[in-house]
Structure formats: C-alpha cells, structure tokens
Structure 1
Amino acid sequence: MARRRQAVTIKHVAADAGVSLQTVSRVINKEPNVRPEMSLRVQASIDKLGYVPSIAAQRMSGSRSYLILALNDRERTIADWRKREGTDWVDQMLLGGMLTCAEYGYRMIVELVDTHSDHIERELLAAIAALQPDGVILTPPHSQNPLITNLLDEQKISFARIGSLTEGPGFALTMDDERAARMATEHLIGLGHRRIGFIAGSLEYELSAWRVHGWRAAMEEAGLETADLLAEGDFSYASGRNAATRLFDQGMPPTAIIASNDQMALATLETGRERGIDVPRDLSLVSFDDTPIVRFTHPPLTAVVQPIADVVARAVELIIADQAGRDVPDMPVAVPATLVLRSSTAPPRHG
C-alpha cells in the first residue's frame, strides 16, 4: 500500500527560513508589520518547499478566517437545479465572488439557506460557528430578512446586502433595477409602442417593486396609460404563462411586454406563439437577466443584463476593505445594468 505523501506545513517553512511560526503567519496573511527582506526569505522557503497555505494556518493570528460566506435561497435554487431550469445567477455569483476573493487571498463558500425556515437562526449560527467567516454576502430574499441581518449585526460580522434598500446594518448594493426597467421601457417607447405591458416578479423581493416603479415612471413621463397593463408573476415559467394570458386576453392587448425574468419571458414567447402572435412582428418582448438561453430562442431576446458578477465582486471588496479598516463609500452602492438589443423588439405594426 502506497504511503501518503507527507504534507508540507507551516512548521517546515519556519524551520527552512529560520524564523518563528508567527513570522510565517504574518507573511502568509500579508500583514504590514513584516520587514521586506524577511518577507522575501519566507516566500523563498514557501516556493522551495511547495507550501500551500491552509485555512488553519491563515487563522493562526486569530483575527481573520479569510473566508467569505455567500447565502443563496435554498428552496428556489434547489427547485431550479432539480428541474434543470436554473438561471446562471449562482454561476455569475461564483464568477464575481471567487475570483475577487482569490485576488486578496480569501476563499468564498456558498451555503443554501431557506429564508422561510423556523430554524433559520440556528442554521445560520451553526454555519458561522463552523466556518467563522470574515464576512457574509446576502442575496434576495435573505438580504431583506431582519432575522438574518440582525443576527449578523449582533455577531459583529461584516456583511453585504444585495438587492435590498431596507434600513438596517450592512452594505447595501443594488443593480439599479428601477433604472433598468425604465431603460427597457424607454427603448420600447422610442420604437413607437404605446401599450407596453409589464410582468412583475415576486413581491417577496424588493427589486420587483423597483422594476414596476421604473416601468410606470417611464410610461407616465411619456404620457402613456398603465391601467390593465401590469400582471404579477413569481419568476416561475407557469406564472409567466398566466400573466401573459391575462395581458393577451384584454380588449386592447399590449404591443410590447417586459418580463421581469427570463423564465417568464420564455413563457410569454411560447404563449404568444400558441395564439399565432409573432415576435417581433405582432409583439415586442424584453426580458430581465440575460441568461444564456435567451440568446438561442427564436428570435433571440432583447434583455436587461444584470451585472451579478460585478455586484458580488463589489460586495467582496467592501467586506475586505471593512476588515482592513479602510474607508468604504456611502451606501447604497449601485452597479448599473445594461440593455442588450436583439431581434425581439421592433416598431409596432400599427404605430
């Protein structure tokens, strides 16, 4: 039976460099109170021995864990994974969070937590005790849950709240959803549309209301009516079909529709196709999210591109800056979305 290769530890590095364990720890943790020549000496031993700093070694100073914990909605995430209908939200969160953490010598760990659980405090405290994170990133709907935000505040853990402007502790970040909805609406108005429907997402998410406000504000500024043009969904495909049906069944159906996520936009596209409604000849369609699938529909969908990776990267930077005692900008921090134009929007047939 082959013997397991002995791992190189911090003790080996200290012995090779002829320094104390504390000095190696300070070099690994990039602390400022290490002389440059000592840092080079320790780094030379690390390179020579092929030492990879472990989380345990990084914790030797007792001040940091170099871990950032990201919490995502368990129920919705698992449901999407099992149906194989998930968006790329988690992928983009990992892209922005993991790469930015790596730049600063941190690690990011993702945990799924059910925000509706009666045991949420116990679950979260258990995760904190096990991981001892330096910071936590909250995504909707966790970011607006006072049980979670108050608990983290009591534990004196730096945390970022994505998609929530509710008063309270933590760094508030948004993707400027109200502006994004306004931008999508103004694009359609510019094409000549006057009856523009809007399919809202779950009101459990603050951003759902922000998007409705952006759509309504753009319509009102253009002197256009919004009565009977708002339909509520919950971000699911089924709710998108129901909402699209309500809009299509009106005496004067909309000539354009904005859906608050890709699943509901796809449902609108299919529901319209079943009724002989052609996109974009009879109906212009805009989606939120811009997950990969909307680029391969027929036609490809015009969509609001949410900068998920960028906003999570910014959240990581804010937490690390706070840990280092550096100044952070005024809240909230807005990372603006963009609108990508594809062939699902066009001028209305009848002006």
Structure 2
Amino acid sequence: MKNRNRAKRATVTIHDVARHAKVSSMTVSRVINGQANVREPLRQRVLASIKELNYIPNMAARSTRMGLGTTRIGILFSNPSESYLSKIMVGSLEQSRKLGCQLIPEYCSGLTSQKKAVSRLVDAGVEGVILPPPLCDSESTVRMLAGLDIPVAALATARPLPEVSAVYIDDYRSAMSITRHLIRLGHRKIAFVEGDPTHTPSQCRLDGFLKAMEAAGLTVRENWIAPGRFTYKSGLAAAEILLSGDEQPTAILASNDDMAAAVVSVAQGRGIRVPEELSVAGFDDTPIASIIWPDLTTIHQPITAMGGAAVSIIHKMINDLRKGRGPKPLHQRMTYKLVKRHSTGRALS
C-alpha cells in the first residue's frame, strides 16, 4: 500500500493540482513560489488541493518559493535554422545574465510536443516565455500560454498581435530595400524563393519584393517564385526549379540566408558563375552569409539584440505581475540594414 501511495504521489503534477482547485496552472505556480498577487481564497483553495493530492513541488519551484532561486524565463523553440537560433540564444543568455534571470530552453515540434514542452516549463517555475519563429506566429501556442497567465514575447513575427508583446523588424520594407538594390544593379529578371508559409515574415518579404518590382515597372514571372521552408534543403529544391528553365533569371532573392546559400551551391554546381552570371541575395545576416564564398548580400536583422530585447520585455512584464499590475504588451521594432557583399553584381544585359 505504501509503495502504491508513493507511486501515486510521484505522478501528481502542477496541472493536476490546478484542475483539482479549479484554477490555472500559473496560479498554482504563484502560490508555490510565495508570490503576493494571488487572492487569499484562491491561495487557500490551492493549498488545500496540494495537501489532498500529496503534491510535492519540484526542486526548481521549491527553491524559488524559499527565495533561493531567480526569475525564470522560458524560450520555446522549433526553429530549423541552427545559425538563426544560436544568435537568438546568445542575445537572450547575455541579457538574462545582466538581469539576473535564468533562461530555460525547451524544444518542441508538433502540437502534442508543444503541450508537453509548456508543461515542463511551467513545472520548472517559468513566469514568462519567449517564442522565436515560427512559434511566434502559432496561435495555438500563444493561446495555451495565455490560458496559463504566462506573459509571452513573440520574437521576429511580422504581424504582432495587439495583446502579445513582440520584437520585430519591418520585413516588408527591408525586402523592398534589397530588391531595389538588385534593380539598381541593372537586374530585370529577378526570381524569389519563399519562406515557411506559416511564418508571417515569409509573406511580408514576398509582398515587399513584389511591390518593389511593380514600382520599377517589372513583371515577375509566376514560375520564378519558388516555394521554400527556410531550410538549406528547401533552397536546393527551389534553385533547381529556378535554374532549370529555358530562360533563367539574372538574380535570385531568397527569404533567408540558408536558402540563398543553397542557391549559390546549385548555381556553382551547374557552372553558373556568381555574381558574374547570377546575383544571389539572402535575408537575416546569419553566420552562413559571411562563411560561404562569395559571401552573401543580405538584410541584417539584429537577431542577437532582438533576443536580448525579448528577455528585457518579459522581465518587465513579470515584475509588473509580481507587483499586482496587469502587464501591458510591449512592441519593439528594431532597425534592419542592407549589407552589400560579393554575391551580387551588375547584370550583364
């Protein structure tokens, strides 16, 4: 019997307590952590459920409650680009260090995985979560966290929701800027590689490209817009499509640097000289942009600084909650920059 009780006790989670007390998991977390912004009747109800279910908080939650821990911020990620994600992590970790926060990363993929990852973050005592792309545009993930009263900062979304904090750049205007650069170099036959269709910057970057082409009086062929997923592999497939027709573009703009690097690889494999015969441009200015040769002309997105800004925003929202103030969503737009390198040159004709 004792063994069965011990096994039962070990299976109880913070979510079981929340269901039993008919409150949110975040309310349970606040009671465990000794936070003041919980009404006394709710606190007593949660404590009664904890006692009845024999719930034992994990070590992270207990250390926070005893004042031995620090502010915990979660970062939930599923980004396929390791170089992009690494720059986010560098900025987030550095700002967390400055603010005395603990950053807890969690990987997820599908919806079921997201739910489990969110549960792990809640059990670890996080009080706010950063969502890098593409999860920054996942309504189900945002709703899930909102239901737990956990502040969210969407990182690198192109269409920030009014009720969700966000750090972003102007993807539309930056795409126009780099397209105009190609046009100024004399290119008239310009193709485009799309990004992940579930990520809002993908559409904004395509729209910016199309607008710049239209403003210059240039026609974009339907078969010169190739699908991509922000991965190197999808860039290879897109390049094969764009460089296999009877008439080929003189320039290709890809929605990120990984796919642009793949375009350069396919072109070189086909004996097409970059930039003499084909100009290639990317987006984001991730490490691969300056590692390959020729190095990529691209839009510099201050990804590292954006990661740090997201931490600062979440930290402020958590402090507001602790003081009993409803946290107001904050939107911070960062500055992009066109970086001209050796992968683009003047059109031959």
TM-score (normalised: structure 2): 0.74
Equivalent in the alignment of 1:71: 76
Q: 8 Å contact 1:55–1:66 — kept in the other structure?
A: no
Q: Where does the alignment leave 5 or more consecutive residues of structure 1 unmatched?
A: 1-53, 78-85
Contact 2:194/2:202, CA 8 A, preserved across alignment: yes
Query: Which residue does 2:83 correspond to in 1?
Result: 88
Q: Aligned pair 1:60/2:66, yes or no?
A: yes
Distance 1:119 1:201 in 2: 23
Task: Determine the structure 2 residue equivalent to 1:144.
Answer: 137
**How many percent of aligned residue pairs carry the same amino acid?**
32
Secondary structure of the corresponding residue to residue 280 of structure 2: strand
Shift in Å, 1:220: 1.1
What residue is the counterpart of 2:348 in the other structure?
Answer: 349
Query: Structure 2 vs 1, CA of residues 127 and 87 (structure 1 numbering), >3 Å: closer, same or farther?
Result: closer
Amino acid at match of 2:119: L
In 2, the alpha carbon distance for the partners of 1:311 and 1:187 equals: 25
**Pairing of 1:191-202 with structure 2 (within 5 A):** 191-202=185-196
Q: Which whole-Å CA distance do the structure 1 matches of 2:267 and 2:285 have between them?
A: 20
Shift of 1:151: 1.8
Distance 2:327 2:305 in 1: 17
Structure 1 letter corresponding to 2:102: R
Quote the residue 2:218 is aligned against. 224
Contact 2:168 2:334 in 1 (8 A): yes
Please say if residues 59 and 65 of structure 1, whose CA atoms lie closer than 8 Å, have aligned partners that are also in contact: no
Q: Please tell me whether residue 303 in structure 1 is matched to residue 298 in structure 2.
A: yes
One-letter code aligned to 1:252: E
The offset of 1:167, in angstroms, is: 3.7
Report the count of equivalent residues: 284
Q: Aligned residue for 1:289? A: 284
Extract structure 1 runs of 4+ deviating beyond 6 A: 326-330
Look up the match of 1:255.
250
Shift of 1:263: 2.4
Give the 3-state SS of the residue equivalent to 1:173 in structure 2: strand
Q: What displacement does 1:161 show?
A: 0.9
Choose 298-307 or 311-320, whichever is displaced more: 298-307
Unaligned residue ranges in structure 2 (runs of 5+): 1-59
Letter in 2 for 1:335: M
User: Are 2:99 and 1:99 equivalent residues in the alignment?
Assistant: no
Give CA deviations for 1:9-58 in whole Å, capped at 9, x if unaligned: xxxxxxxxxxxxxxxxxxxxxxxxxxxxxxxxxxxxxxxxxxxxx98665
Deviation at 1:328, TM superposition (A): 8.2
Q: What does the per-residue CA deviation read over 1:309-334, in whole Å, with 9 as the maximum and x for residues that have no partner?
A: 11111111111222233998875422
CA distance in 2, matches of 1:196, 1:255: 6
Q: Report what 1:29 is aligned to.
A: none
Q: Which residue pairs with 1:128 in the alignment?
A: 122
**Which residue pairs with 1:25 in the alignment?**
none
Aligned equivalents of 1:330 and 1:346: distance in 2?
43
| Residue aligned with 1:277, SS | coil
Alignment of 1:11-30 (within 5 A): none
CA distance in 1, matches of 2:347, 2:328: 44
Matched, 1:312 2:307: yes
- Give the letter for the 1:120 counterpart: Q
Structure 2: distance between partners of 1:313 and 1:296: 24
The superposition leaves residues 153-173 of structure 1 with CA deviations (integer Å, 9 ceiling, x where unpaired) of 121111101233264642022
1:69 CA displacement: 0.5
8 A Cα contact 2:70 2:102, kept in partner: no
Partner AA of 1:268 in structure 2: V
CA distance in 2, matches of 1:245, 1:88: 24
> Which residue is 2:270 aligned to?
275
Counterpart residue number, 2:172: 178
What SS does the corresponding residue of 1:268 show, helix, strand or coil? helix
Q: Distance in 2 between matches of 1:140 and 1:163?
A: 6
The residue identity in structure 2 corresponding to 1:323 is I
Residues 174-204 of structure 1 show CA distances to partners (whole Å, capped at 9, x for unaligned) of 2322222111101111111111111111212
Q: Which residue of 1 is the match for residue 40 of structure 2?
A: none
How far the C-alpha of 1:240 sits from its partner, in A, is 1.5
1:23 corresponding residue in structure 2: none
Distance apart, 1:216 and its partner CA: 0.8
Determine the C-alpha separation between the residues in 2 that align with 1:68 and 1:91.
Answer: 17
1:154 correspondence with 2:147: yes
Looking at structure 1, the residues matched to 176 and 139 of structure 2 have their Cα atoms a distance apart, in angstroms, of 29
Answer with 325-334 or 161-170: which moved more.
Answer: 325-334
Counterpart of 2:261 (choices 245, 266, 272) is 266
Normalising by structure 1, what TM-score?
Answer: 0.74
Corresponding residue for residue 334 of structure 2:
335
Cα deviations by residue, 1:264-290 (Å, 9 ceiling, x for unpaired): 212211221222211111111111232
**Conserved? CA contact 1:72–1:142, under 8 Å:** yes
Q: Does the 8 Å contact 1:137/1:159 carry over to 2? A: yes
